[in-house]
A and B are shown apart, each in its own frame.
Chain A
Amino acid sequence: MNQKGVLIRAALAGTFVLLLFSALSIRVVHLQLGKHEALRESYKRRVVYRQELQGNRGRILDRNGHTLAQDEGRKHVAIDPEFIHRHGKPVELQEALTRFLRVEPALIGTRLADTERRFHYLEKFVDQRRADQMMGYLKENALQRGVVLQEVNSRSYPHGNLLSHVVGFANREGAGSLGIEQEMNRYLRGKGGLRVGEKDGRRRELVTRRRVQIDPEDGADVTLTVDQYLQHGVEEALEEGIREYNALGGWAVVMDVKTGAILAMASKPDFDPNRFFEFEQERMRNRNLRMIYEPGSIMKPLVFGAALNEGLVDPKEMIDCEHGVWIHRRRPLRDYHPYAELSAEDVLKKSSNIGTAKIALRMSPEKLYTYFEEFGFGQRTGIELPGEEAGISHPPSRWDSLTHSRVSIGHSISVTALQMAAAMNVIANDGRKVNPFMIQEVRSPHGTVLYKQEQGPEGAQVFRPEVAQEMRRLMSRIVGPGGTGRRAAVEGYTVAGKTGTAEKIMSDGTYSERANIASFAGFLPAENPALTIVVSIDEPRGEKRTGGSVAAPVFRRIAEHAVACLTIPPGGFE
């Protein structure tokens, strides 16, 4: 009897367990094989771990390898107000956060008080050091709970305003928006990576369940031809000139004569790319490329050189300068200082408009225009910076009766400072045109050279070498005693150059009587040039407003700094 009872109870228990497991099995099979999209999605959301990995943007370096722009890790500071009010000390925390964050204390208070929210940003893109100091302080005072730091990559420009127009900036999304950052974006941007796997209940990745691992790739480094120490000196000299002559702004470019490498390029006013969002667009304009203006008298050596190259002028011949007023095609052409007669070489030295126009008229308009084309006027130089203007150089078919005489003295034609530097460089470079360039090298993170340039694209032999040499001699007289550019002289070096004072064109198309651009374009050492430098000062408003009195001294400061910084011997490089 007992045994039978035991057997029956065992059978019942066994049946019950069997039924239970059967039910569970059927449920499992149903869940696994049945269509439960909502359940699957819910599972995936909870379990699937997906992390996008950022590749760093490449660095921008100067010619000596000094970093001008690079990525830097920063933090977004956020709080969990609900948690802080339940478990933390909101009043003490507000006081602590106010010490370190650049945010209004009232805003911190408002966000802390919003206890219905679980997440509030307080400040974004906080630098690492400040974030570490803040967290250190919070931990010391047991206030860190409820404070969240989010990692984020940010672009950093260690030297602030230095080279701001050239380097440009990358926006918050990491896209280049100006300058080299924009032009070389395809090289600089890194490639993102990806991790896909699963996470546990605490949202931590289960590394053993990682299915996909694509490593991020950093962007390539871009090395420029500029020298940051030279650039600093150029910017200081410009700032000093702008202050001294109470000008609106100024710009300058320094170019290697033989290779065309741009060693410095400055434009004022400028901006800090670390805080690009605080500055208006106008300050971001690189005036070396994007400001077109009538060059004025700095055009004269190019026209004189063209006439000399054509054999149409002898430096020693005498030119009638009409005592300062010449009526040509029923319109007067005036000189600043009246001369009766000047030798051709003195026409250049004294910057006589009448003498230069008469020399230019010996050439046909078509021939003169051909020289302008060979100098590069009316065309972009092709430098690796965005937004370059081509300038305005009309063909002879669009010239009126006065254009031929006016264009020879730098009116009725508009150029950029960079075009002017490249044109003036023809004389410095034995008559051969070489185009300016800015990118020396692009190198991948693995060390592979993706792009390299040591010499700018060569252009035509515009002047014969002996003509270029003669022009250098004539232009060095301009910087000598009695010349308009004597204030550009550099002790121990021979300088060749030309001053220019061009009235600005008003909005109604007429020339302003007061507003002008004072320029000096030149090179040194004159016998064997190593550097071509063009300086322009925009609207000097003091007593002194001409190229000789305003731009020439700035040129001198720049040139003095350049020859010292680059250790250029007085005779130039052999």
Chain B
Amino acid sequence: MSRKKTQSKTRRRSSSNRNRKLKAEARPLPTRSVLVCSSIVCMALAYLWLSSRTEALAQQIKVEENALTDLRRDVAAEEVRWNDMIGPRNLKLALKENNLNMDWPKPEQVLHIRDMALWESGRGNLNHYSSVDDRERGRH
């Protein structure tokens, strides 16, 4: 019975509505609001993206800073080791261990080549014993 009732109700509704014009209003899209909201959403997303990118870069900076500190420390440690190795005491030991009977040259074995221009420019006697340029100092 209920099915019949329902069917007849539906029929009645549809027949009562059959000729009724549907009231529907067409409104224009609120372009400005949509644009503003979209911009805000885009900016928010962009902010979130930049924020996470900044965070990632910051982490990277921290990692690189720590790596630089470690490398500087390693370089210093190697410099200490190298200077120890080439020190006079260890050089002598190394020569002895390898049975290398080396000695300083005799005067007749040494040929002095003088740069007269440098000498005359007054650079002084230090040139007799050594010349150290910036590469040897470990700078630049």
Contacts and interface: CB of A to CB of B under 8 A. Distances in A.
Given A129-B77, A159-B83, A208 B55 contact: yes
A569 B137 contact: no
B83 A162 contact: no
Interface in B89-140: 89, 103-107, 110, 112, 114, 123-126, 128-130, 132, 134, 136-140
Interface stretch (B1-9, B28-36, B57-65): B57-65
A566 B104 CA distance: 9
A256 B54 CA distance: 61
Contact of A70 (B76, B103, B129): B76
B40 to A, nearest CB: 22
Nearest to B86: A66
A91 interface: no
Contact of B80 (A156, A232, A492): A156
Interface residues of A, number: 56
B104 A565 contact: yes
B126 A440 contact: yes
A206 B140 CA distance: 34
A162 B92 CA distance: 14
A565 B102 CA distance: 13
A568 to B, nearest CB: 8
Nearest to B69: A151
Contacts of B61: 207
A66 B77 CA distance: 15
Q: SS class of chain B's interface: helix, strand, loop or mixed?
A: helix
A447 B139 contact: yes
B125 A258 contact: yes
A159 B58 contact: no
A228 interface: yes
A454 interface: yes
Contact of A158 (B58, B84, B112): B84
A205 interface: yes
Interface string A336-372: 0000000000000000000000000000000000000
A158 B83 contact: yes
A261 B128 CA distance: 12
Nearest to A493: B107
A79 to B, nearest CB: 22
Contacts of B137: 61, 65, 221, 223, 443
A131 to B, nearest CB: 10
Band of interface residues on B: 35 or more
Interface string A62-84: 01111100111100000000000
B109 to A, nearest CB: 9
Contacts of A206: 58
Contact of A570 (B59, B84, B107, B139): B107
Contacts of A70: 76, 79-80, 83
B5 to A, nearest CB: 25
Contacts of B55: 208
Nearest to A263: B129
Contacts of A393: none
Nearest to A455: B124
A74 B124 CA distance: 41
A445 B73 CA distance: 16
A63 B130 contact: yes
B48 to A, nearest CB: 14
Contacts of B126: 63, 256, 259, 261, 440, 454
A443 B139 contact: yes
A65 B136 contact: yes
A43 interface: no
A286 B130 CA distance: 26
Interface in B2-37: none
A128 B73 contact: yes
Given A65-B136, A207-B59, A567-B112, A573 B83 contact: no
A47 B134 CA distance: 45
B39 to A, nearest CB: 25
Interface in A127-141: 127-129
A71 B79 CA distance: 10
B104 A564 contact: yes
Contacts of B136: 64-65
Nearest to A232: B88
Nearest to A446: B139
Given A72-B77, A443-B137, A573-B125, A64 B88 contact: no
B58 A208 contact: yes
Nearest to A228: B88
B107 A73 contact: no
B88 to A, nearest CB: 4
Nearest to B137: A65
A447 B134 CA distance: 9
A64 B80 contact: no
Contacts of B139: 221, 443, 445, 447
Contacts of A568: 107, 128
A454 B123 contact: yes
Contacts of A443: 137, 139
A229 interface: yes
Given A73-B76, A256-B125, A570-B107, A67 B83 contact: yes
23 contacts: A66-B86, A67-B80, A70-B83, A71-B76, A72-B77, A73-B76, A129-B77, A158-B84, A159-B88, A159-B89, A206-B58, A223-B132, A229-B88, A256-B126, A258-B124, A261-B126, A440-B126, A454-B126, A455-B124, A566-B129, A569-B112, A573-B125, A573-B128
- In order of increasing CB-CB distance, the 10 nearest A-B pairs are A564-B104, A207-B58, A232-B88, A73-B73, A158-B83, A158-B84, A67-B83, A128-B77, A454-B124, A208-B58
Interface of A: 56, 61, 63-67, 70-73, 127-129, 151, 156, 158-160, 162, 205-208, 221, 223, 227-229, 231-233, 256, 258-259, 261, 263, 440, 443, 445, 447, 454-455, 492, 530, 561, 563-570, 573-574
Given A229-B88, A447-B134, 5 more contacts: A66-B83, A162-B87, A232-B89, A256-B125, A259-B124
